[in-house]
Amino acid sequence: MLWLALHFPALALDACTRGAHAPLPIVIASSPGNNAVVLACNHFAQRRGVRSGMPLAAACALSSELVVRARDVAAERAALERVASWALQFTPAVSIAQPAEVLLEAGGSLKLFGGLNRLCVRLENGLAELGYGFVLACAPTPFAAQLFARAGLPARIRHRDALRASLGRLTLDIFDLPHESATLLRAIGARTFDDCMRLPRDGMARRLGQEFLDTLDRALGRIPDPRPKFVPPTGFVAALMLPAPVHEAGQLLFAARRLLAELCGFLSATGNGAQRLAFALAHEDRAETRLTLDLAAATRDLEHLISVLRERLECLALPCPATAITLKSELLLPVASRNLSLLPDSREHAEAVGRLVERLRARLSAGAVRGLDTATDHRPERAWQICEPGNERSAQEAHTLARPLWLLASPKPLKEIEAMPHYEGPLALLAGPERIESGWWDGDDIVRDYFIARNPAHALLWVYRERRHDGGWYLHGFFA
């Protein structure tokens, strides 16, 4: 087995500030009041002299521009769960270790992702996209991987026989030992894992308890260390607080990208795609602004979702500043895996057309973009109908007779000289007649003979001769 541990040393900060794009000095405080302490701060706050552990009042005295947020433990827990859902795309064996770690058993996934190094690169790039600071470590046991990650060591240890030497250098402060045990170990001069391993086990068991020995043995893999598998939710809902109010809709794209990246990881893990996404923008003094993306087909393509959302945001005017953004997937459908054949995939063309339609609808509104389809009627005026884009019948199902690209709204009478039609000169009849006689059942019947004609300027026209009434010639369309 091979365990990958993701440790998030600044989870309290990341959970509240991942949506920040502007260079704001942000601090996370323990609690409101006179005794509040800075728990974490970003590098913009550190540049102003703010440090973790200092009184909040002292930090605010250093800079009047500080953005202060109270620690939100529930947001941290939700962030870990969303990271776990995202990580399921790499392995089905994912576990959460509170308060700030996610574990992956990835031994069975190495071949799929091209080896350990490539898998780690995928994880690192993905977590950076999500906006988290992290340490990634690998070891044959889950607890050892956790210890390396907590120590800030990006270890890549694959074999158990190398564990003892690597763990030996780790200090005991990363073990989260009870205060009494930590005090006793310091008193006897034990500072590292290796120091503890040199002590007599019987004496340690009497003075520190069997639980301490079990802690050492779990790290080395001497005793089982089962981890509960994370069970993902059936749907996706995620929210981000915005560190500062956002006045322009386009500025929300940075935070929305974080949420969409989480969504795409969740969709990859479940084999689904999203066809409808609902965004909710929170405001301080009024109801939420809701934004829905209806897609032509289910997808989990992050860049495509970003492009569609960008089009919508460019057309959106916020009624007042937004303070938070929530994403919910309302319609999830199975998505087939990508065909990796070198031969062209017919789906790629259909997907490209669908994406164009989605971007146009995002910018112009859904009702402004329609599809055209053939109808089961031979009369040219009624041989087409409006439909949903993407629902058109295939070319194989449509008739193959020549039809003009541009059909006039109503036929235009033509001059007739010496029994021949004229349009910017005499017309040469190239093909026809094609008789269309239809519509007797609804009172709007026609009886016409259609021809393809060419005028002196070499334009191709679709003309017909009326078989009833005046028997005249009419222009009905132009070929491209």
Domains, the chain: 3-24+65-77+90-170 (3.30.70), 237-361 (3.30.1490.100), 406-478 (no CATH)
* Residue range 379-387: mean pLDDT, rounded: 81
Residue 12 has pLDDT above 80, yes or no: yes
Residue 398 has pLDDT above 70, yes or no: no
Residue 341 has pLDDT above 50, yes or no: no
Distance from C-alpha of 254 to C-alpha of 276, rounded to nearest angstrom: 20
Residue 394 has pLDDT above 60, yes or no: no
Q: How confident is the model at residue 396 (pLDDT cuts 50, 70, 90)?
A: very low
Residue 371 has pLDDT above 90, yes or no: no
Q: Which residue has the higher pLDDT, 40 or 366?
A: 40
Residue 367 has pLDDT above 50, yes or no: yes
Q: Which residue has the higher pLDDT, 409 or 326?
A: 326
Distance from C-alpha of 23 to C-alpha of 45, rounded to nearest angstrom: 10
One-letter amino acid for residue 393 of the chain: R
- How confident is the model at residue 392, as a pLDDT? 59
- Tens digit of each residue's pLDDT (9 = 90 or more) over 39-55: 999 999 999 999 999 99
For 381, other C-beta atoms within 10 Å of its C-beta total: 15
- How confident is the model at residue 349, as a pLDDT? 57
Distance from C-alpha of 101 to C-alpha of 74, rounded to nearest angstrom: 15
Residue count of the chain, please give it: 480
- Tens digit of each residue's pLDDT (9 = 90 or more) over 90-112: 999 999 999 999 999 999 999 99
Partners of 105 in the β-ladder: 3
- How confident is the model at residue 334, as a pLDDT? 87
Q: How confident is the model at residue 390 (pLDDT cuts 50, 70, 90)?
A: low
Bond preceding residue 411 cis, omega within 30 of 0 = no
Q: How confident is the model at residue 296 (pLDDT cuts 50, 70, 90)?
A: confident
Residue 395 has pLDDT above 50, yes or no: no
- How confident is the model at residue 399, as a pLDDT? 57
Distance from C-alpha of 293 to C-alpha of 175, rounded to nearest angstrom: 47
| 438 φ/ψ sector (left φ>0, alpha ψ -120 to 50, else beta) | beta
331 with 276: CB under 8 angstroms?
yes
Residue 158 has pLDDT above 90, yes or no: yes
Q: What is the pTM of this model?
A: 0.75
- How confident is the model at residue 351, as a pLDDT? 65
- How confident is the model at residue 45, as a pLDDT? 94
Q: How far is CA 383 from the centre of its chain?
A: 41
The tokens describing 92, both together, are 């089905």
- How confident is the model at residue 426, as a pLDDT? 93
Residue 283 has pLDDT above 90, yes or no: yes
479 with 405: CB under 8 angstroms?
yes
- How confident is the model at residue 347, as a pLDDT? 59
221 with 167: CB under 8 angstroms?
no
Instruction: Name the DSSP letter for residue 271.
Output: T
- How confident is the model at residue 93, as a pLDDT? 96
Residues 366, 369, 373, 379, CA torsion sign: positive
Q: Which residue has the higher pLDDT, 402 or 131?
A: 131
For 249, other C-beta atoms within 10 Å of its C-beta total: 18
- How confident is the model at residue 337, as a pLDDT? 60
